């Protein structure tokens, strides 16, 4: 529905337009479901394709999460980077030498912080912020006692 004030023969009027977009919304929903199904296996997607899909999934002006990179723990950043490389939870667990359950817990925490419900959405969030792969966290150096 759209409403706009107009003047017709110097008289203030309100012009309203109602359009049934039910079918278009249904088609968009089906398209989004198909994109999400395809994005479950992201390793073979190029970064350009993922960025284009992200633009389809979240048109300009649509609200995004308030989460920022500093809100993530170093381990969550590691896991997110490995997700961006296309690794699944067992592969991430093996790479980081942790249990599958630990990875699952970190992924759940990431989803919560990023306010996403799918791995593909987390990957899009990360790539929009420059995370495209695994980066080993920088460890704080210990000062030598003198």
> Position of tokens 């490995």?
82
* CATH number, domain containing residue 64: 1.10.10.10
* CA–CA separation, 88 and 96 (whole Å): 12
Q: What is the pTM of this model?
A: 0.51
Whole-Å CA distances, 99 to 45, 76, 95, 119: 27, 14, 10, 19
Determine the pLDDT at residue 120.
85
Q: What is the span of the domain harbouring residue 119?
A: 20-128
124 in any annotated domain: yes
Would you place residue 39 in the very low, low, confident or very high pLDDT band (cuts 50, 70, 90)? Answer: low
143 in any annotated domain: no
């Amino acid at each position: 529905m759209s409403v706009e004030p107009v003047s017709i023969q110097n008289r203030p009027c309100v012009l309203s337009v109602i359009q049934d977009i039910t079918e278009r919304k249904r088609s968009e929903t089906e398209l989004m479901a198909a994109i999400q199904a395809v994005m479950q296996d992201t390793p073979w997607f190029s970064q350009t394709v993922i960025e284009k899909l992200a633009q389809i999934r979240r048109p300009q002006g649509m609200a995004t999460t308030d989460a920022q990179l500093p809100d993530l723990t170093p381990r969550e950043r590691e896991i997110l980077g490995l997700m961006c490389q296309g690794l699944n939870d067992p592969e991430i667990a093996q790479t980081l030498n942790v249990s599958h359950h630990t990875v699952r817990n970190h992924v759940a925490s990431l989803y919560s912080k990023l306010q996403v419900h799918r791995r593909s959405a987390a990957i899009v969030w990360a790539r929009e912020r420059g995370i495209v792969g695994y980066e080993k966290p920088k460890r704080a150096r210990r000062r030598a006692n003198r």
